[in-house]
Amino acid sequence: MAAPKVLILRAPGTNCDVETEYAFELAGARPVVVHVNRILEDPSIGEGFQILCFPGGFSYGDDIAAGRILAQRLKVHAADLIEQFRASDRLVLGICNGFQVMMRLGIFFPPEQFGPGAAKAASLALNRQGRFEDRWVHLRTVDSNSVFLRGIDRMYLPMAHAEGRFVSGGNDVLERMRSNQQLGLRYAAPDGSTGDAVLDHPWNPNGAEANVAGISDPSGRIFGLMPHPERYIDPTHHPAWTRHEELPPHGDGLRMFLNAVEYFS
């Protein structure tokens, strides 16, 4: 099958689109970076793509709240396109600010499964320590349905955000997400241990409930995470690459992009 086409949607303030484009290219996809204004003028532009990606950055300067303006513009002008990706056999990925946008769009929580007000089933709040965090984090995959996490047990990736603390709408929402295998990516200690009890800082860098670093929708085709897989593709991206003799030929983040491409093979 031909390499899947990836629509990487950028907006004013987006700053990780080039890195994300490179990661998808390295994985064998055909990425195209498109400004959101083109989609708002003609949503049909997105119909020829198999993967939709919201990259990281600070869309619209994160004015009002992280990801809110971009999400609202898409709700008003491109809701049908977003629904096409959600309902059909295609993939959606959101990284950091892209995850924040997706959370505000509510596409992780289909109303037919989560009921009225599904879009508010969970949120990404300000980091518990009340400041921007920029560090590398250990991650563990736990009972995940995500296409993007297939075959991945552990990752070490950078993160950089001030508003990424996962908060659910209550124990019933959390349990439903757990039973759906939606809570697949967790912050972990260096030895790989994780769980529902919130880890101490810095292992859980923002105080996220159940140490959640990324979630999927019930189908596993839609996935968002706060850490940046596109920032650890090459061994030279690793903070200790000049003094580490046993780094693998590719960074931990590449596997996620390979999984997306292999889904269509």
Domain locations along the chain = 5-262
Going by pLDDT thresholds of 50, 70 and 90, the confidence category of residue 119 is confident
pLDDT for 228 equals: 98
Task: Flag whether pLDDT at 49 surpasses 70.
Answer: yes
**CB-based contact 157:134 (threshold 8 Å):** no
Catalytic pick among 138, 161, 228, 237? 228
pLDDT over 90 (residue 232): yes
The yes-or-no verdict on residue 143 having pLDDT over 80 is yes
User: Known catalytic residue: 230?
Assistant: yes
Catalytic residue among 16, 53, 230, 237: 230
Cβ pair 11, 70 in contact under 8 A: yes
Q: If DSSP codes are grouped into helix, strand and coil, which group holds residue 68?
A: helix
* Beta strands 91-95 and 222-225, pairing class: parallel
Structure tokens at 80: 């049908």
| Token couple for 231 | 């920032």
83 tagged catalytic: no
pLDDT of residue 169: 87
Question: Could you say which of 96, 138, 161, 163 is catalytic?
Answer: 96
| Stretch (H or E) spanning 188 | strand 185-188
CATH value of 5-262 in 3.40.50.880, 3.90.650.10, 3.30.70.120, 3.90.1150.10: 3.40.50.880
Pair 69, 57: CB distance under 8 Å:
no
- 53 among known catalytic residues: no
